[in-house]
């Protein structure tokens, strides 16, 4: 099942360059956990603290009101070695957010991305999936660009793409992104679904993989049919229920492309 497009508009974020004379709060302690948590059962604290990556510091400060069980928003102030603020990042949070802001090199380019969990919801059979913002700076740039994702894990796909992995017990959604100077371009979404399972062990016996049309396919110069052939045979897709037989369901008409 595809993730609803409406999820993409439930949050507001903005990034701006502020006065070079402004200063972040330097009294904040180091964050108790630097890696972000988006796994179904993972939790991490949401406390005001500081993260560090390369020569940049990230002051994380949460906005709270007594009526809310968890913070309603977070501001991350990015400063350079001189202490000057080079960017501020603001995210609205939902009460279901599972964890705090973290840093992790999720695409394997040698530079950490800023990851902000926003909410957690039940999708595809009742498994918790996290909606989160990924802020990425390209090469040696000090400016971070935002991409929103949904899933239970995010990692390099093994062939130059970044993939977010979400879904439930019998259906997985793999969303492939291309790292660019503007953050990440969403290229294609795959749904890998169990067609037949062993009733005694629930082991997947046969699965089907299909691709969904996305605007980003033009970035890789592929039709939806070419994308399905390519991405369904990618290392990331083959790692989902790897022992199951792949069954292709023909759905391309005479005018399919």
pLDDT at 5 over 50: no
pLDDT tops 70 at residue 12 = no
Q: For residue 133, tell me if it sits in a domain.
A: yes
> Closest Cα to residue 220, out of 168, 157, 169, 167?
157
Encode pLDDT of 206-216 as tens digits. 999 999 989 99
Give the pLDDT of residue 250: 67
User: 164 and 193 share a domain?
Assistant: yes
Q: Is residue 22 part of a domain?
A: no
CA distances from 159 to 9, 104, 219 (A): 30, 19, 15
- Do 176 and 147 share a structural domain? no
- State how far the Cα of 119 lies from the Cα of 226, in Å rounded to an integer: 34
| Domain end (from 102, 129, 152) | 152
User: Does residue 108 lie within any of the structural domains?
Assistant: yes
Residue 6 lies inside a defined structural domain of this protein: no
Residue 158: predicted pLDDT:
87
Model-level pTM? 0.85
Mean of pLDDT values over 122-136:
87
Chain length of the chain: 257
Query: What rounded mean pLDDT belongs to the chain?
Result: 86
Residues 184 and 243 in one domain: yes
Return the residue matching tokens 């497009």.
5
Average pLDDT over residues 103-125: 91
Based on the structure, what is the number of domains in the chain?
A: 2
**Same domain, yes or no: 145 and 165:** no
The model's pLDDT over 23-39, given as tens digits with 9 standing for 90+, comes to: 567 689 999 888 888 98
Alpha carbons within 13 angstroms on the beta-carbon side of residue 103 total 22
| pLDDT for position 251 | 63
In this structure, is residue 76 part of a structural domain?
yes
What are 188's strand-pairing partners? 176
User: Given pLDDT bands bounded at 50, 70 and 90, which one contains residue 69?
Assistant: confident
In a domain, 127, yes or no: yes
Look up the CATH number of the domain holding residue 132. 2.40.128
Does residue 231 surpass a pLDDT of 50?
yes
Residues 230 and 164 both lie in one domain: yes
Domain encompassing residue 112: 12-17+31-152
**Domain check: are 142 and 162 in the same one?**
no
Residue carrying the six token digits 């974020």:
13
In a shared domain, residues 147 and 167: no
* E-only strand ranges, the chain: 13-16, 49-53, 56-63, 73-79, 85-92, 102-104, 113-123, 127-136, 145-151, 153-156, 162-167, 171-180, 183-197, 204-212, 245-246
Residue 47 in this model has a pLDDT that exceeds 80: yes
Are both 63 and 120 inside the same structural domain? yes
Tell me whether residue 3 is in a domain: no
Task: Mark which of 152, 177, 212 sits at the end of a domain.
Answer: 152
Looking at 105, 136, 152, the residue that finishes a domain is: 152
């Amino acid at each position: 099942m595809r993730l609803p497009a409406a999820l993409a508009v439930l949050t507001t974020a903005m990034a701006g360059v502020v006065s070079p004379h402004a200063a972040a709060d330097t009294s904040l302690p180091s964050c108790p956990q630097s890696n972000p948590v988006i796994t179904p059962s993972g939790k991490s604290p949401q406390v005001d603290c500081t993260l560090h990556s390369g020569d940049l510091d990230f002051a994380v400060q949460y906005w709270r009101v007594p009526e809310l069980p968890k913070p309603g928003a977070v501001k991350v102030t990015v400063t350079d070695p001189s202490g000057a603020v080079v960017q501020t990042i603001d995210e609205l949070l939902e009460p279901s957010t599972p964890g705090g802001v973290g840093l992790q090199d999720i695409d394997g380019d040698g530079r950490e991305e800023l990851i902000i969990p926003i909410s957690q919801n039940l999708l595809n059979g009742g498994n918790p999936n996290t909606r989160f913002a990924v802020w990425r700076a390209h090469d040696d740039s000090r400016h971070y660009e935002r991409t929103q994702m949904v899933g239970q894990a995010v990692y390099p796909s093994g062939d130059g793409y970044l993939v977010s992995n979400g879904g439930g017990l019998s259906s997985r959604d793999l969303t492939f992104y291309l790292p660019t100077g503007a953050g990440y371009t969403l290229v294609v979404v795959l749904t890998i679904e169990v067609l037949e399972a062993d009733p005694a062990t629930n082991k997947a016996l046969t699965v089907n993989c299909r691709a969904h049309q996305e605007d980003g396919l033009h970035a890789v110069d592929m039709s939806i049919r070419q994308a399905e052939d390519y991405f369904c045979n990618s290392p990331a897709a083959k790692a989902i229920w790897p022992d199951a037989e792949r069954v292709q369901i023909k759905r391309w008409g005479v005018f399919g492309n």
